[in-house]
Chain A
């Protein structure tokens, strides 16, 4: 039995679940960002596997390119916010940050 569409979908499901686990359990804001990256990567695998198994439809690739671009933007802005939080609080534990200014 060869590798079919469901193999790729199962791989992306496992990646998605582990990313959700990282988002929910980690306290450090940078590690939460890493969980978000895992979730976005699993979505990309889904897009591209459906694109391949539908006669190499190129629209899935376009969607994946936009997802990658948005991930880059999101990480840049989020790290700027994280650095700002670190200047105010001296830590970046997301469950102890409860006000926007000091």
Chain B
């Protein structure tokens, strides 16, 4: 019963703040609403027994990606001018985009409700932390992907610094 309340709290928080992210005219409001979206998604992860991923979400998304996005907005818009009000596309495009996303949302919800998903319930008894399972899996089954991810991160750091400092 308590998990139901917690789920509804985090779901409503996530969806409301996502609505502010998508529909707000002010870019700063959008970015700060994105913080609550990420936080709500981290709460959903905790409910889904993914404690390590919840901490990772808070550290990388809120601590890294959100700060980068705020830097991007501060560096590329004239804060005191009218530029901070992000312009959206025209009305016709808005109507068609709304129709498109409504079709996508309703189709996905229809699929999610009507499909008879294969589920195998977790035997509720001893739920330990998922960190040791993730560590073993990363270093045994997914070792090649793990190492190539580190190479990819190195390439991305060099590439981003090179592109941003050109000329």
Contact = CB atoms under 8 A, between A and B. Distances in A.
Nearest to B120: A55
Name A's interface SS: helix
Contact of B19 (A18, A80, A86): A18
B87 A5 contact: no
Contacts of A80: 159-161, 163-164
B150 to A, nearest CB: 10
Q: Chain B interface: which size bin?
A: 35 or more
A76 B68 contact: yes
B75 to A, nearest CB: 6
B86 A53 contact: no
Interface of B: 3-4, 7, 11, 14-15, 18-19, 21-22, 27, 30-31, 34, 37-38, 41, 44-45, 47-50, 52-53, 56-57, 60-61, 64-65, 68-69, 71-73, 75-77, 83, 86-89, 93-94, 97-98, 100-102, 104-105, 108-109, 112-113, 117-123, 127, 130, 133-134, 137-138, 141-142, 145, 149, 152-153, 156-157, 159-161, 163-164, 166-167
